[in-house]
């Protein structure tokens, strides 16, 4: 699965929830992570304050 990071602590993760592929949007604030919501499509990310142009793929997963 993939992860993308954006400004202001935004994290978008591709996950499987109840056998459905979803994008989980969370935000890190003052050392805590808060869930913003789930999206079924990339188009829905804007509803959670995500700017697609600002996302950068998180390559830390390659080292696991």
Q: In the chain, what are the domain boundaries?
A: 3-54
Asked if 42 contacts 23 with a C-beta cutoff of 8 angstroms, the reply is yes
Distance of alpha carbon 31 from alpha carbon 40, whole angstroms: 27
Asked if 37 contacts 27 with a C-beta cutoff of 8 angstroms, the reply is no
Would you place residue 61 in the very low, low, confident or very high pLDDT band (cuts 50, 70, 90)? low
Q: How far is CA 40 from the centre of its chain?
A: 12
* Structure confidence by residue, pLDDT tens digits, 11-46: 999 999 999 999 999 999 999 999 999 999 999 999
Distance of alpha carbon 35 from alpha carbon 18, whole angstroms: 17
Q: What pLDDT is recorded for position 58?
A: 87
Q: What pLDDT is recorded for position 63?
A: 47
pTM: 0.85
Map residue 55 onto helix, strand or coil. coil
């Amino acid at each position: 699965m993939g992860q993308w990071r954006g400004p202001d602590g935004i994290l978008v993760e591709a996950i499987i929830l109840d056998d459905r592929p979803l994008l989980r949007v969370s935000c890190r604030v003052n050392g805590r992570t808060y869930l913003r919501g789930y999206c079924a499509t990339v188009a829905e990310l804007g509803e959670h304050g995500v700017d697609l142009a600002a996302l950068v793929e998180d390559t830390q997963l390659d080292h696991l």
